[in-house]
Amino acid sequence: MEQQTRMNLGYQQPYRWQDHFQAYEDKLEQCEPLESLWNLARRLRLLTRLVEHYRAYQQPYGAIHDPYSEQERYYSTPSYALAAAVLVSQGRTDLLESAASALTCSIQALVEQRAPDGHPDFFPIMIMGAYRILKPLLPQQALHWQQQLQQIEPEATYVFTMSKMNNPNRMINWNAIMLSGEYMRYAEGLSGKDTRWMDTYLQRYHVPRFTSLGLYQDGPLNMPNCPFAYDIVTRYHLTLMQLAGYAGETADVVQELLWRGARSSLLMLSPLGEWPTRGRSSQHQWNEATAALIFTVQAIREAKQGQSKLSGAFRQAADLTWEAIERWQTEAGDLHIVRNYYTPEQRHGYEIYTNHTCYNLWTAAALAYAIDYGEELESITPYPTPALCTSYTLETDGWFQTILSGVAGQQLVWHTALNDPYNIPGLSRIHRAGISGLIGPSSAGYRDQGFTRFAEGEVFPLIHAPAWQTEDGAWHQLADGIRTTVPFDCDAGVDPSDGGGGYRIVEARHEEQMARLVLEWSGPLPGGVRQIQAIYEQRPGIVQVSYRMMDADHSSIRRLGAWIPLFMYDGKEAAVLEVSKTLESTLEVDTAIESLHLRYSNGRLSLRCLTPGSTMSFPPEASHVASRNGLLKGVRLESTQDSSCIAYELRLEKHDPSL
């Protein structure tokens, strides 16, 4: 593990996952093509249902109102303008007036500096996309749009600029988003400036944030918090800037970083088409929508370079992200914008800034761009993504503090930071192809939920992680983490070295249908523990976990245990939990062994303890735990004979919900 006290210039290092990507390409040569399940008609159907849903909330002057707060929110209106304009370009001429009205409203709000909720930085990328499509269809109206757009002064109009903030640490994703739209305005001849001011922002504040993997570290430059959502969305906007023809001073390095990031994204995508969880805005549908554009663009680029199978893998990745979003589209056409079924009024798993209409329409806008730039995608034959055909273990670089490992059709995700109460340490996600992503579960609990709010449930650090009971009877766990010298700030990051703890990968081994990962966590850990080892071995549908106390003297440990999070409720459907107990007689002792089965949606999760003399309990403090997806329930395995080792097995298989 890289222990960093400040962000290093990782982008200057060689691509860290080159060997992993080469191994995948070698495997890809043996793969057969896949049946194409997505086409332009299906993509348009999803987008059309979204746009038509919100057309009903358009005001006479063009704005889109949020039905829950009954007002225009954030950048809903320019997002609608872009999505509707792309549908117009695809033959929906009945939407022309609606799209133009939304565009006029958006341009006026931006020029007059009255963007809703103080979010003007997000306007230009959507405005310019809609403008390019609509201007030849409405030439007289376009003259008025041009006159208004020429009035924009970036340093005065937008929020995240050095003129407004005079703080390099605040030049985060907002600034990059603004730059992408401003470049499109420049490319249309509507800006009196050249690109040198954009080059300065990119060189000083954005390029240094990239790791060798091409991942963007959002947050303060000196202590980034690195949400995966704001990595993918920043790269999405820089990709749009590149597609618009950016050729400034940083063009070559940005191109290289986006090339790396696209490959890393392909390796990281789950078999269900979902982006990894880490940090704020996790599991919002726009994560996958922005990924769809990145995968679409890279698929077309690889095809032009003659890389037919790799191109097909990127095309399959794009299809999977569309499918991940479609699962959450309602009968009315809008989306559950976070992956649960609570009503929008309940705001479960929402961030404090999350808005139902805005994030539906931003998702629509990103999907619209994927359609707009994806005309050649239909000619590309899909091939398996890494998560569908290979065994691998990937350790992120920079401050992302995440490990991903998988076998064909299955992926596990760990968070490794011991001192970050928002991203608690342990095995956070289990996904298997063909089975609901929530049952694994798909996200953990929290020690501090940061920006995230819940309709119900308690905040508790519930994750697959070791636990131990000390002689005083108190239980501790790895997820309790280590206190830092700097108080946690959900708007900033946590220095990985603060507090003195850490981890290292002892072993990472892969075979055709097996992946084995051995981690060692080092303290000072709660309860006086200095070191504990975690061993994870997975095969398709099977995950075996064991924890070993590595302290030379662990006499102060009465029992070793393991927390297992069970997914119980998604806001609409409750899981069914079945607990069984058998009596296993041996020559030496009668050992009570408990096992359990959990049924949810189309999946069945089975838990079995592998350590003789161990029992399961359901501690009350973890009976009703809030997670992004709903509610979790914690079961704790507890050793009764050996305080140095405990192990369990999870099986994840399909289940017919009608039975």
DSSP secondary structure code for residue 215 in this structure: -
379 pLDDT higher than 70: yes
Report the SS3 class of residue 479. Answer: helix
Q: Among 32-41, 207-216, 348-357, 489-498, whose mean pLDDT is lowest? A: 489-498
What are the tens digits of pLDDT across the range 410-436?
A: 999 999 999 999 999 999 999 999 999
Q: Are 578 and 623 in contact (CB under 8 A)?
A: no
- Topology, domain 391-486+497-654: Beta-galactosidase; Chain A, domain 5 (2.70.98)
592 pLDDT higher than 70: no
Q: How far apart are CA 40 and CA 506, in angstroms?
A: 46
What percent of the chain has a predicted confidence (pLDDT) above 90? Answer: 90
Q: For the residues of 368-429, what is the DSSP string, one character each?
A: HHHHHT-GGGGGSPP---HHHH--EEEE--TT--EEEEEETTEEEEEE--SS-SSS-SEEEE
38 pLDDT higher than 90: yes
What percent of the chain has a predicted confidence (pLDDT) above 70? Answer: 96
What are the tens digits of pLDDT across the range 594-614?
A: 689 999 999 999 999 999 989
Is the sign of the CA dihedral 439, 444, 450, 455 positive or negative? positive
Pairwise pLDDT comparison (587 vs 237), residue with the higher score: 237
pLDDT at position 383 is 98
Q: Among 241-245, 495-499, 513-517, 544-548, whose mean pLDDT is lowest? A: 495-499
Which tokens hold the place of 594? 């408990």
Q: How far apart are CA 601 and CA 109, in angstroms?
A: 45
Which tokens hold the place of 127? 């405005």
What are the tens digits of pLDDT across the range 151-175?
A: 999 999 999 999 999 999 999 999 9
6 pLDDT tier (thresholds 50, 70, 90): low
Domain extents for the chain? Answer: 391-486+497-654
pLDDT at position 604 is 97
Report the 3 state secondary structure along 90-132.
CCCHHHHHHHHHHHHHHHHHHHCCCCHHHCHHHHHHHHHHHHH
Q: For residue 319, give the amino acid letter.
A: D
Q: How far apart are CA 296 and CA 304, in angstroms?
A: 13
pLDDT at position 643 is 80
Q: How far apart are CA 592 and CA 614, in angstroms?
A: 7
**Across 180-194, average pLDDT:** 96
Neighbours of 471 (CB within 10 A): 10
392 pLDDT higher than 70: yes
Rg (CA), the chain: 25
Q: Are 486 and 217 in contact (CB under 8 A)?
A: no
What are the tens digits of pLDDT across the range 108-126?
A: 999 999 999 999 999 999 9
Neighbours of 19 (CB within 10 A): 9
9 pLDDT tier (thresholds 50, 70, 90): confident
Q: How far apart are CA 548 and CA 635, in angstroms?
A: 19
DSSP secondary structure code for residue 581 in this structure: E
554 pLDDT higher than 80: no
pLDDT at position 581 is 67
Q: Are 654 and 565 in contact (CB under 8 A)?
A: no
**Across 38-60, average pLDDT:** 98
Neighbours of 336 (CB within 10 A): 21
pLDDT at position 478 is 97
pLDDT at position 82 is 99
587 pLDDT higher than 50: no
What does DSSP say about strands 542-549 and 531-539: parallel, antiparallel, or unpaired?
Answer: antiparallel
Predicted structure pTM score: 0.96
Neighbours of 242 (CB within 10 A): 17
Q: For residue 570, give the amino acid letter.
A: D
User: CA separation (Å) from 276 to 15, 335, 653, 659?
Assistant: 20, 20, 21, 32
Helix, strand, coil in percent for the chain, rounding step 5:
35, 25, 40
Q: How far apart are CA 500 and CA 82, in angstroms?
A: 49
188 pLDDT higher than 50: yes
7 pLDDT higher than 80: no
Q: Are 29 and 389 in contact (CB under 8 A)?
A: no
Report the SS3 class of residue 627. Answer: strand
pLDDT at position 490 is 87
Q: How far apart are CA 574 and CA 579, in angstroms?
A: 16
pLDDT at position 658 is 74
642 pLDDT tier (thresholds 50, 70, 90): confident
What values do phi and psi take at 259, rounded to 5? -60, -45
Contacts of 587 (CB under 8 A, 6+ apart): none
User: CA separation (Å) from 260 to 9, 207, 255?
Assistant: 15, 13, 9
Mean pLDDT for all residues in the chain: 94
Q: For the residues of 306-370, what is the DSSP string, one character each?
A: T-HHHHHHHHHHHHHHHHHHHTTB-TTS-B-SBSS-S-TTT-TTEETT--HHHHHHHHHHHHHHH
4 pLDDT higher than 60: no
585 pLDDT higher than 50: no
**Across 326-354, average pLDDT:** 98
